[in-house]
Amino acid sequence: TIRLPNVSGYATFSNASGGVLNVSSTAGWSFTSDSSVQGGIVNNAGTINVNNSTSWEAAFTNASTGNLNIAAGKFLSMQNGQSLAGTVDIGSGGTLWVSERHGTNAAFNGTTVNGTGTLQVVAGVGPVADFTSVNAGEATLLVGSGGTANILSGTSTFGALSLSSGTLTGAGTLALNNAFSFTGGSMTGTGTTVLGPSVTYAPGTVTLDRNLTAQGTVNQTSGTLTINSGKTLTVDGSRGIVWVH
């Protein structure tokens, strides 16, 4: 564990461009500062390899040159995410967990997210993640209880969205390549969620409070799909199909 205390100002750990940090400890906490403010600072402009599941109790920034790699089947609980640019790789069955918020949202801006793992915004202390022009074409975005995902300007692309609780909102476009599950919580905002040609969606009983474009299949087999005033469900004229049973 690396401790970053507040002694006339919080300590900083910087991994410079070209540097490599391998996190293989089984201690559970690889960075700590304090549980309330979590003001210790971790800056990454090089490569950090998370080889074992761990938690970071510090303000983390990933620069445009930074690479954050989470091994298959492992998780990183990022409790005070700041600006996350550069590249994040989440291996199969791995998870990057935006688990808390301490003063600022975790902001993914122009980030490339590789791998088929999960980026989740759930539980913890009111976690909030902002997404601006993020390319995560195979990863799953999971929004659960207590979590908020803001889709800001531009188009952010994920392989899948799982929204079981919490809130997905914002004025930007969220494009989904492979799967869409909306079983609870709220999907709001002035933006649009676009279901790609490979996505089959069975709404059941839900309320759409955000524009939705279907390029694949919407299969309404049971329940009531409610579209709120001012919102639009668009079936792509060249590819989309809606079945109402």
The per-residue pLDDT for range 84-115, each reduced to its tens digit, is 999 999 999 999 999 999 989 999 999 999 99
Q: How many CA atoms lie within 13 A of 237 on its CB side?
A: 0
What pLDDT, on the 0 to 100 scale, is given for residue 238? Answer: 74
Low-confidence ranges of the chain (pLDDT < 70): 237, 245
What predicted TM-score, i.e. pTM, was given to this entire model? Answer: 0.95
Q: Are 117 and 141 in contact, with CB atoms under 8 Å apart?
A: no
Q: Give the tokens for residue 143.
A: 């929004």
What pLDDT, on the 0 to 100 scale, is given for residue 28? Answer: 85
pLDDT tens digit sequence for 129-161: 999 999 999 999 999 999 999 999 999 999 999
Nearest-CA neighbor of 143 among 111, 103, 170?
170
Three-state helix/strand/coil letters over 216-235: CEEEECCCCEEECCCCCEEE
Integer angstrom CA distances of residue 152 from 31, 105, 208: 30, 12, 19
Q: Are 129 and 81 in contact, with CB atoms under 8 Å apart?
A: yes
Q: Give the tokens for residue 207.
A: 């309320």
